[in-house]
Structure formats: structure tokens, C-alpha cells
Amino acid sequence: MFETKVESKLSNEYLNNGYIIREADDSLALEWIRNQFDRLIKELLPETKDINTEKLLNNIHKYISASELNDFRLEIIRSINSIEKFREMYFLVARSYLESLVGNELSMQLRVNLSIQLPNDGSSLLPIHSDVWSGDSPFEVVVWMPLVNCYKSKSMYILPSEKYAEFHKEFKNNTSSDSEELFQNIKKQIQWLDVSYGKILIFDQGLPHGNRVNEEIETRWSLNCRFKSVFTPYGDKKIGEFFEPITLKAASKKGMTYELPEIS
């Protein structure tokens, strides 16, 4: 493998753990993203206009209820995905890591997703799952970006690669009837990921992962978006429908449009 030492270390860590946690590649792009949320929230909740961004995000549960959360979240998702530069800035936060782990000709999910978990709220749970089980390509990675410090139950969990091998081997013998029973069977093997604001998580969405009730005193805000190499196999989520090429190179553009000359 013709990798640099830095690329080799990153790749080995991803392969061994199923994820990497690193400082944002572009801290200014990350700050720009968080500032968009500050602006949008204060437009929706004018009473919060004098609160600083970090305090506002961590304490949003003081201004919206669990019953209002989904409509609030969907409105913000609609708004961020209508901002022209948003996806580009998102990509810049993780660019060098994606180019090392995935490739430099990338497809990106058309919409960035948002998770908001209020303290002690059971309405925003993501049960244990693997995206590949429901039709995603195993060639995808997820860039998970916290807007606040995420730790313990305020974060997400994953079954690390080293534990997944045994899980996969025994899966056919698993008699669990639902996701909660499955979680209870492997909860001693999962790993909770501490990811503070300023860092990003890139993980293998083929590994079982999810969240639980946020038992901390602060609200969790995290973004997620999938990336894959343009020319690797797609699952149910196709290019043009779910993904869009974002870094296609000149030789590929030429090759995709090349036509052999006709012979008379």
C-alpha cells in the first residue's frame, strides 16, 4: 500500500475500531455551521436572542418541549439544507480524513440530518441497528458532527469492529425478538463515544449503533451525513436520488463521456 504514515495510522485505526475521532479539518467551517444554528434558533425562538450559542444549544430543552421537538427539528433541517454553502462547509470539516479513508472522488448525501436529544426524553431514540441491514451500501461512511460536547448517554454508542466479528458469527443463533432485546444482549460490548465540540466522528455505518435516553442534564445536538467513493457499489440509496458526486476528477469526467469513433 502506497500510503503515508499518517494515512496508514488513520486507516488502521478505522479498520481496527470501526471509527475515528479527530479535530475538525477546518475549524472555521465548523464555526460557520454552528453559527447558522444560532441564527435559525433565534429566528424561531426570539426570546433566546441574548443567549450565547453554546449555552443555547445545551439548554434548548428550557425553551421547547418534547411534544414540540419534532416540528422544531424538521424546520431546522429544512432550513439548513436550503442554505447554499451548507453541504460544502460540512464537507470541508472532514475533507482530509475522507480523502484518506474513502477516496478523493466522493459522493455526498443530498441532505444533512440533525439529531436533537432533550434530557430524559424517550421520543428521539434510535434503536440499535446497522444501516447496511436496511439497504445501505457497506462502502459508505458517516461523518457525525456534534454541535455541543457529547459524552456518556448524551452521545451515541457503537459495537467496535473487534467485537463485531464475534457478534456476526453468532448472529444466526440470536433469538432476540426485537432491537431492545438485542441491545441488552450486547450492551457490555458496545462503546459509548465521547466527541466534544470541535471534533468529528467518522464511523462504519455497517456496525451496530444507536442511542439511548439522554440521562445527562444537557441537550444533544449532532449532525450526520453519509459519504462514499463515487465508483463503489451503491445500495438502495442511489446516486442522483440520495447521493451526489462532489469531487469528480477531470479524467473521470472525460471517461464517462467518451465515445468510440464509428467505423464505416
Domain count for the chain, please give it: 1
Q: Which range marks the domain in which residue 131 is found?
A: 5-25+94-249
Note the pLDDT tens digit of each residue in 189-226: 999 999 999 999 999 999 999 999 999 999 999 999 99
To the nearest 10°, report the CA torsion of 129, 132, 136, 139: 130
Predicted pLDDT at 176: 63
In a domain, 31, yes or no: no
Tell me the average pLDDT of the chain: 94
In a domain, 180, yes or no: yes
Confidence of residue 183 (pLDDT cuts 50, 70, 90): confident
In a domain, 13, yes or no: yes
Confidence of residue 174 (pLDDT cuts 50, 70, 90): low
In a domain, 45, yes or no: no
In a domain, 55, yes or no: no
Express as a percent the part of the chain with pLDDT over 90.
81
In a domain, 80, yes or no: no
Note the pLDDT tens digit of each residue in 102-126: 999 999 999 999 999 999 998 888 8
Whether the model clears a pTM of 0.85, i.e. scores above it, the answer is yes
Sign of CA dihedral 8, 12, 15, 19: negative
168: pLDDT strictly greater than 80? no
CATH number of the domain residue 226 falls in: 2.60.120.620
Nearest-CA neighbor of 211 among 141, 147, 125, 123? 125
In a domain, 50, yes or no: no
177: pLDDT strictly greater than 70? no
Predicted pLDDT at 193: 97
Note the pLDDT tens digit of each residue in 126-144: 889 899 988 999 999 999 9
23-29-33 Cα angle (round to 5): 105
181: pLDDT strictly greater than 70? yes
Predicted pLDDT at 29: 98
Note the pLDDT tens digit of each residue in 237-248: 999 999 999 999
In a domain, 109, yes or no: yes
Contact between residue 127 and residue 177 where contact means Cβ atoms under 8 Å apart: no
- The residue written with cell numbers 465548523 in the block is 30
Which one is predicted more confidently, 95 or 256? 95
Confidence of residue 172 (pLDDT cuts 50, 70, 90): low
Note the pLDDT tens digit of each residue in 69-98: 999 999 999 999 999 999 999 999 999 999
Predicted pLDDT at 169: 75
Confidence of residue 175 (pLDDT cuts 50, 70, 90): low
